[in-house]
């Protein structure tokens, strides 16, 4: 039976079961997963606890810290946006928006670029020593 064929229309269910491909086994992520470390460092830098970055709060301070965390998950870990969204509790569009916003702001604000650069370096050092 080809995929998408309607069951019960000329194909026996036994034949259908015989020709189905097995499910792919669960695989580990193809990127290094340092989510907890990145969230902890970003939260500490902004004066929060990591759980606050995953909550639904939309206050400006927490939202900005969350956007920086999403940006660093993608930038440092190479985490796909849909996976970063799942880890933070948002959708992939929110992660894409956060990455664009952080990139845009650090391209025009030298002090912000320096602060996020220092945070990125601190996280990278901890990853190397882990």
Mean pLDDT, each 10-residue run in order, the chain (130 residues): 46 49 48 88 96 94 97 93 93 96 97 97 91
Q: Which domains are present in the chain?
A: 35-129 (1.10.1750.10)
Q: Alpha helix (H) ranges present in the chain?
A: 13-19, 35-46, 50-54, 60-77, 81-88, 92-108, 110-129
Under DSSP, the state recorded for 23 is: P
Question: CA distances (Å), 65 to each of 23, 45, 48, 50, 94, in order?
Answer: 39, 9, 9, 10, 13
Can you give the pTM of this predicted structure? Answer: 0.76
Q: What is the pLDDT of residue 113?
A: 97
Mention every residue, 6+ apart, whose C-beta is less than 8 A from residue 130. Answer: 34, 37
Q: What is the pLDDT of residue 107?
A: 97
C-alpha to C-alpha distance for 95 and 43, rounded to whole angstroms? 17
For the chain, what is the radius of gyration of the CA atoms? 21
């Amino acid at each position: 039976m080809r995929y998408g064929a309607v069951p019960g229309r000329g194909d026996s269910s036994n034949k259908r079961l015989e020709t189905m491909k097995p499910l792919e086994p669960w695989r580990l992520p193809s990127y290094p997963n340092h989510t907890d470390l990145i969230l902890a460092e970003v939260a500490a830098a902004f004066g929060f606890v990591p759980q606050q970055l995953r909550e639904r709060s939309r206050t400006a301070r927490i939202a900005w810290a969350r956007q920086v965390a999403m940006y660093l998950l993608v930038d440092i870990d190479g985490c796909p946006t849909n996976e970063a969204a799942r880890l933070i509790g948002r959708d992939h569009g929110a992660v894409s928006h956060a990455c664009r916003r952080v990139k845009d702001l650090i391209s025009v604000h030298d002090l912000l670029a320096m602060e996020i650069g220092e945070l990125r370096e601190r996280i990278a050092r901890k990853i190397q020593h882990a």
